[in-house]
Amino acid sequence: MKAKSHWLVLWVVLLTGIVTLRAAELPYRDASLPIDQRVEDLLNRMTLDEKIGQMTLIEKNSITPADITRHFIGGLLSGGGGYPTPNTAENWAAMVDGFQARALETRLAIPLIYGADGVHGHNNLYGATIFPHNIGLGATRNPELVRAICAATAEEMMATGVYWNYAPMIAVPQDIRWGRTYEGYSEATAIVSALGSSCVKGMQGDTVQVLATPKHYLGDGATAWGSSAYEDYQIDQGVAMVDEITLREIHLPPYKAALDAGAMSIMITFSGWGETKVSSNQYLITNLLKGELGFQGFTVSDWGAIDQISPDYAEAVVSAINAGIDMNMVPYDAERFIATMQAAVADGRIPLGRIDDAVRRILRVKFMMGLFERPFSQPDLLETVGSAENRALARQAVAQSLVLLRNEAEALPLAKSVPTLFVAGVAADDIGIQSGGWTIEWQGKEGAITPGTTLLEGIEATVSAETTVIYDRLGRFRNARDSAGNLLNAEVGIVVVGERPYAEGRGDAADLSLSEPDRSLIERVRQRVDTLIVIVISGRPLIISEQLPLAEAWVAAWLPGSEGQGVADVLFGDQPFVGRLPYTWPRSMDQLPFDFATLAPDEPLFPFGYGLAGDS
């Protein structure tokens, strides 16, 4: 018996060596074969542990490199702020490539897919181009511009090995109190469908370069105020209290358009519909998305969203997977999820066929993306990160996104030769504020958090050499005096007001009025200038009705990102005002949420689609 065991061990060792040496000759490694053939060949070679590993998506700081290999992990991600130190493109590439190398050490060498929320550029990366948030792009009504922006974002992500982008958000927000309003292109389904599908095409290219992830399926833009049970959120992660007709007519078409554009990854929403979380709704995920719409890619949960289904973790996992979620964004405890999955399959609560369906979908996408042939980052693209070309594109997007709300006495465009120009407001010289949430950090951050051009710098670079620009963030201008010591006034004042950075439910807001400091700022500067221009930096329309008459001109600049020069381009007439409101602008908070079915054109302060030309 001992002799037979000895020879058996030698035979297993020899066989393993042969398999390893000939791995490249296996059918699933042959890029010339049809993808479905490669998928089935690989799937038939996988153990249950390897399959469950492919269904596991873990946040990078919550797993050791060795465990990537041990658990056959299928996906890793950087959450908001999930960057290496120092935060450079080269370090991102080294970090992701290091994780990928661990995945390729597994028996079948299945590459992992690395994801991040590149919602307005590769925005976790210091030095990346930060484009306007989607609300600004919605104001442009320009699908080709959006396509170019998403292609440029993909280019900068590929340089770092991040081939999976959790974007675009194609929700149709119906209540601007939602802290994710700025991630939505518009309140109008048709605009969201057109721009969202353009982004998918731009990001993925003719072949899937960076995997787009339209989100959050389905109905997150319909959640009701006060329906959220998460932390102190009010509407984010709440319940969509609409009937199926409304769900299909308003919120589903952008997904149809995204699928037609080639989307192969869909993120399922945190929110609920009716009595259940969408993450456990088999009708919406399996019957509607995968069945009726014919989706062939894979679904992924949002950050820990499965955990919210039930206080019983095992019940939550079983419900979500059986409902049709293919990959779980865990994000912290991969081992608990894996053990729970193994137990659920062992006792028959999750059929093996459901596991095979999920893994088949994941593998199909990985083969489509070429990850087996190109698993690592692309150093030749590092020069595109924050490149002059991409920043010029962002500057163009900023210019097209601006909406002129008021322009009395043809205050705009401004003459570059204006003798004295006062500029006020902390947001005028703060790239963090003008970029908003999802910039370097999840919630964003004030200050010089990434390279770029502030609004003030753009103004200073645009005016004539004879113009005196005086900046005072508090708008007091106490140092603006003549030779006798008397306070000087200015021909023109520009005041920049609005919101500080926020993201998701932390931005849910019961009151969208301008802050008291902003209101006082406008009043102070009004007294010191002949003509007053107010620029609103915000992720949604704000309540400005009382302050509106105090300034000759008002401009909605949204969250323009790193290229503030684009604002100056339009203020001084180098580019025209072309932006139109992507959301209805309320007169007062008691109008929210709007009943769009009965809303009269004169009820809001500015109607949907409103936008003046520069000489109006």
User: How many CA atoms, within 13 angstroms, populate the side-chain half-sphere of residue 175?
Assistant: 28
Cβ atoms 281, 323 nearer than 8 A: yes
The DSSP secondary-structure symbol of 493 reads E
Q: How many CB atoms lie within 10 A of CB 288?
A: 21
Token readout for 250 is 């308003």
Catalytic residue among 302, 307, 326, 508: 302
CA angle, 169 then 184 then 382, to 5°:
55
At 93, phi and psi to the nearest 5? -60, -45
Per-residue b or e along 395-422, where b marks 16 or more CB atoms closer than 10 Å to that residue's CB:
bbbbbbbbbbbbbeeebbbbebebebbb
Cβ atoms 550, 573 nearer than 8 A: no
Query: How far, in whole angstroms, is CA 214 from its chain's centroid?
Result: 10
In whole angstroms, give the CA distance from residue 221 to residue 53: 32
CA angle, 314 then 319 then 320, to 5°:
100
Alpha-carbon dihedral sign for residues 557, 232, 79, 147: negative
Catalytic residue among 175, 307, 429, 504: 504
What are the beta bridge partners of residue 165?
116
Asked if 187 is an active-site residue, the reply is no
Residue 127, SS3?
A: coil
Token readout for 163 is 């081939």
Q: Which helix (H) or strand (E) holds 277?
A: strand 276-277
Residue 47, SS3?
A: coil
Cβ atoms 271, 216 nearer than 8 A: yes
In whole angstroms, give the CA distance from residue 560 to residue 121: 12
Write the single-letter amino acid at 456. L
Which residue is listed with tokens 């018996």? 1
User: Can you spell out the DSSP letters for 351-381?
Assistant: -HHHHHHHHHHHHHHHHHHTTTT--S--GGG
In whole angstroms, give the CA distance from residue 88 to residue 109: 28
Asked if 312 is an active-site residue, the reply is no
In whole angstroms, give the CA distance from residue 499 to residue 590: 20
Token readout for 201 is 């095409």
Catalytic residue annotation? 302, 504
